Structure 1
């Protein structure tokens, strides 16, 4: 893994896998609000949703797992 990519967007190094999560499930699993998630996506700090059709979007589960793992690793390295 490229450490620069890993620190900025760790999900870019992850395969999308097969399971897709709809936005409501992402909000529930992360505990983040809709507005927080979309603000973080705009900042490049959260994996983007894939547009499946004009009215449907989903996030690959593996991307969310990579994001969560990177956040946990950052805390373990610097528990400030």
Structure 2
């Protein structure tokens, strides 16, 4: 069974709900580094941060959950190595 995503950007199907997560919390929850997250955002492979004020950015919790769920489904669908 090969995993083929219905949408390469699954967070677009999720309404922006839940808490607004500041960047540091996103890095901690995913275990990804700052530069990795920002590189993935630039490539369109990670949900973007929203500007909530002139000096603050945050990500809706639902977007991060959709991203993580999509990655988990991909991992479960890929053949064991």
Tell me, which stretches of 5 or more residues in structure 1 are unaligned? none
Query: What is residue 75 of structure 1 aligned with on the other side?
Result: 75
For 1:28 and 1:65, the matched residues in 2 are separated by: 14
Runs of 4+ in 1 over 2 A off after TM superposition: none
Higher normalized contact order (CA 8 Å, seq sep 6+, divided by chain length): 2
For 1:54 and 1:11, the matched residues in 2 are separated by: 24
Name the larger-Rg structure.
Answer: 2
SS at match of 1:75: helix
The number of residues matched between the two structures is 76
The TM-score, its normalising length taken from structure 2, stands at 0.88
The 5 Å alignment of 1:30-45 reads 30-45=30-45
SS at match of 1:26: helix
CA RMSD of aligned residues (A): 1.3
